[in-house]
Amino acid sequence: MELARLQNILYRLITAPGGVDEGLAKEQALGLDGLAELIRGDDRLSARDRLAIYANAYFYRLLDVCREDFPATAAVLGDAHFHNLITGYLLDYPPTEPSIQYAGRYLADFLRGHPLRASRPFIADLATLERTLIESFHAADATPLAAAALSALVPEEWPALELALHPAVRILDLEWHVEVVVRAVEEGNPPEAPRPGPLKLLVWRHNSRVHYRELEPGEAAALALAANGTTFAAICTAVADESGAADPAPLITQLLGKWLSAGLLLRRAP
Amino acid sequence: MDRRAFPSLGVGVGLRRPHYTHVLDTRPAMDWFEVIAENFMVDGGRPLEVLEAVRANYPIVLHGVSLSVGSTDPLNRDHLRRLAELARRFAPAWISDHLCWTGVGGRNLHDLLPLPYTDDTVTHVARRIRDTQDMLERHILIENVSSYLSYTHSTLTEWEFLAAVAETADCGILLDINNIFVSAFNHGFDARRYIDAIPIERVVQFHLAGHSDHGTYLLDTHDHPIRAEVWELYEYAVRRFGPVATLIERDDNIPEFDELQAEANEARRRSARAVVADHTRAE
């Protein structure tokens, strides 16, 4: 048999969502008996059982990876629902990347249109946050702007200073406070139902560890500007506008201190 | 390809996440580390930082799982470029991947599937290994996989196939002793006959690992200590191939690092014993 045909048939049989037997039934030219044309069986293990070893390995390997990447989503759904979720997910989003680390990258998208949302309306937000934590963990490295470097500038240089966000920073617009669910599962506690949002959540990486917290008043517009690259003056204006404070200077100083110590900002070449 | 061009690394273990901190903080005695190349194909962050630090103190080898050199899809050039980038950055002693296919139609099964053992497949795979070697500008090693099925239209044995591919492609061999043991049980062949048929001058590395026994078949799970029968087969292989660089793999049920160190010491002891025994016999 031609190699490409062989591989395509095996791919379909191994990934058949209803298992090898259903897959074989669908392969028109290939009933259980026909499988002998492809695969040798013997007294100990039939051709069908040999194929089933690969089919089980395919599903359970990806289920394990998704459970590891989405521990809170899995905890909320429980084993049976999560199992069924991944079965459906793999049908719509079969892995295409060489690295298995990307296997779950579309799970949140898949959940947005999933019936599980009826009883757990926060579930897609939860998966979004868990996936974002992984993306931040693996995002590109960059040298953050240090407070010392900023202090070294003369005050006249500050307004025109070009700033950007570190590549590992993400700002999520969520409808539910799913960060409490992630935190509970991280701490080994049962997942609690989140309260409704809206929630603007900051995700960042500092010293190789990923952190997250709700944005504070005054931060959202400024960090959104920085995401596209902006000046220090524009950031100050954004903080002032968003906070509505008569004297925004203390707030700006306080937020800037937080951003710098968390390594959120980069200095861009003008 | 001349296997003397590859450095003699001794015995190493696969570097896995649960041991990152231990390896970085205590710098344990270990000859070398093998890493799964795909796990480091990320833009930045902790994995690359760890690998930098480990590489500063130990030789490393990049071991791939997704080259899919036996697939009928075109070779994934983006993947090979990322692999070449990793190799430039981390200067591995060598690069290896598996003699298998992992997907087709642009989709990845994330498993190591066996190929039909035919002359046509030898030609197909050897050409792709040569292309890979050209792109990476180095000889690579290909590894025999554990398998649970064989194809009706195979005309060669697995060992004939492996030897023919390596000769035709002019590549090295990473001989996985546990995989030979597992496949020998699953397909009912003699593991020693397999080892006897592999060209000595192409074997650059051994893998050792544990498997699980499912009664009617053995599964290559890498979640157990190395079994006694596999240790015996390892000594048999050392008597044929000499003291080849050896790597202990553990991917699941990962124990304390000390336990892997003990297995590495056991490999050193058995390798030395097998070499002495062979030498004595030769005299």
Structural domain boundaries, residue A11 = 1-66
Among A2, A5, A6, which would you mutate to test the B interface (most chain B Cβ atoms within 10 Å of its Cβ)?
Answer: A6
Main-chain phi, psi angles of B261, to 5 degrees: -60, -40
Distance CA B41, CA B28 (A): 26
**Residue A39 is nearest to which of B47, B151, B188, comparing CB atoms?**
B151
Chain B residues 224-283 within an 8 A CB cutoff of chain A: none
Chain B residues 146-165 within an 8 A CB cutoff of chain A: 148-153
Q: How confident is residue B275, by pLDDT bands cut at 50, 70 and 90?
A: confident
Identify all chain B residues contacting A134, using CB atoms and an 8 Å cutoff: none
Least confident of A8-12, A149-153, A180-184, A226-230: A149-153
Bond into A191 cis (ω within 30): no
Closest CA to A63 of A50, A81, A46, A41: A81
pLDDT by residue (tens digit) across A20-68?
Answer: 988 988 886 665 568 888 999 999 999 999 999 999 999 999 999 999 9
The answer on A184 and A260 residing in a single domain is yes
CATH of the domain at A223: 3.90.930.50
Arithmetic mean of pLDDT over chain B: 96
Among B152, B156, B223, which would you mutate to test the A interface (most chain A Cβ atoms within 10 Å of its Cβ)?
Answer: B152
pLDDT by residue (tens digit) across B206-237?
Answer: 999 999 999 999 999 999 999 999 999 999 99
**Residue A99 is nearest to which of B41, B103, B216, comparing CB atoms?**
B41
The answer on A100 and A211 residing in a single domain is yes
Two structure tokens written together for B241: 């191939």
Global pTM value: 0.94
pLDDT, residue A155, reads 87
The strand pair at B203-208 and B107-113 is best described as unpaired
The answer on A80 and A55 residing in a single domain is no
Please tell me the total count of domains within chain A: 2
Q: Which residues of A230-260 are buried (b: 16+ CB within 10 A; e: fewer)?
A: bbbebbbbbbbebbeeeebeebbeebbeebb
**Among all residues of chain B, which has the CA nearest to that of A141?**
B44
Residue A164: helix, strand or coil by DSSP?
A: strand
More confident residue, B203 or A26: B203
The answer on A19 and A62 residing in a single domain is yes
pLDDT, residue B2, reads 86
**Residue A37 is nearest to which of B38, B68, B152, comparing CB atoms?**
B152
Identify all chain B residues contacting A6, using CB atoms and an 8 Å cutoff: 116, 151
Determine whether the interchain pair A11/B104 forms a contact, defined as Cβ–Cβ distance below 8 Å. yes
pLDDT by residue (tens digit) across A74-123?
Answer: 999 999 999 999 999 999 999 999 999 999 999 999 999 999 999 999 99
Compute the nearest-CA separation of A154 from chain B (Å).
33
**Among all residues of chain A, which has the CA nearest to that of B66?**
A98
pLDDT by residue (tens digit) across B47-76?
Answer: 999 999 999 999 999 999 999 999 999 999
pLDDT by residue (tens digit) across A180-206?
Answer: 999 999 999 999 899 999 999 999 999
Two structure tokens written together for B227: 């079994």
Determine whether the interchain pair A97/B108 forms a contact, defined as Cβ–Cβ distance below 8 Å. yes
Q: How confident is residue B276, by pLDDT bands cut at 50, 70 and 90?
A: confident
Identify all chain B residues contacting A141, using CB atoms and an 8 Å cutoff: 43-45, 48-49
**Among all residues of chain B, which has the CA nearest to that of A51?**
B149
Proportion of chain A above pLDDT 70, given as a percent? 97
**Residue A95 is nearest to which of B47, B110, B149, comparing CB atoms?**
B110
**Among all residues of chain B, which has the CA nearest to that of A209?**
B46
Identify all chain B residues contacting A167, using CB atoms and an 8 Å cutoff: 43-44
Q: Is the pLDDT of residue B281 over 70?
A: no
Q: How many CB atoms lie within 10 A of CB B59?
A: 20
Among B24, B78, B110, which would you mutate to test the A interface (most chain A Cβ atoms within 10 Å of its Cβ)?
Answer: B110
**Residue A8 is nearest to which of B42, B68, B105, comparing CB atoms?**
B105
The answer on A221 and A114 residing in a single domain is yes
The domains located in chain B, with CATH, are: 3-282 (3.20.20.150)
Proportion of chain B above pLDDT 90, given as a percent? 95
The answer on A137 and A252 residing in a single domain is yes
What residue ranges in chain A does DSSP mark as E strands? Answer: 162-165, 170-176, 196-206, 209-214, 230-231, 265-267
The answer on A221 and A100 residing in a single domain is yes
Which residue, of A66, A88, A110, is where some domain finishes?
A66
Residue A199: helix, strand or coil by DSSP?
A: strand
The answer on A140 and A16 residing in a single domain is no
**Residue B46 is nearest to which of A42, A53, A137, comparing CB atoms?**
A137
Q: How confident is residue B109, by pLDDT bands cut at 50, 70 and 90?
A: very high
Residue A134 near chain B (CB below 8 Å): no
Which residue, of A22, A39, A66, is where some domain finishes?
A66
pLDDT by residue (tens digit) across B231-260?
Answer: 999 999 999 999 999 999 999 999 999 999
Compute the nearest-CA separation of A96 from chain B (Å).
4
Are the C-beta atoms of A71 and A29 separated by less than 8 Å? no
The C-alpha torsion from A46 through A48 and A49 to A50, rounded to 10°, is: 90
pLDDT, residue A29, reads 62
The answer on A142 and A227 residing in a single domain is yes
Calculate mean pLDDT across residues A14-23: 91
Chain A residues 28-87 within an 8 A CB cutoff of chain B: 36-40, 42, 44-45, 47, 49-51, 53-54, 57-58, 61-62
The answer on A185 and A118 residing in a single domain is yes
Identify all chain A residues contacting B43, using CB atoms and an 8 Å cutoff: 138-141, 167
pLDDT, residue A270, reads 65
Distance CA A79, CA B174 (A): 39
Contacting residues for A84 by C-beta, under 8 A, at least 6 apart: none
pLDDT by residue (tens digit) across A159-172?
Answer: 999 999 999 999 99
Are the C-beta atoms of B195 and B240 separated by less than 8 Å? yes
What residue ranges in B171-226 does DSSP mark as E strands? Answer: 172-176, 203-208, 212-213, 218-219
pLDDT, residue A207, reads 93
Calculate mean pLDDT across residues A226-241: 94
pLDDT, residue A30, reads 62
Which residue, of A66, A90, A118, is where some domain finishes?
A66
The answer on A92 and A36 residing in a single domain is no
The answer on A260 and A197 residing in a single domain is yes
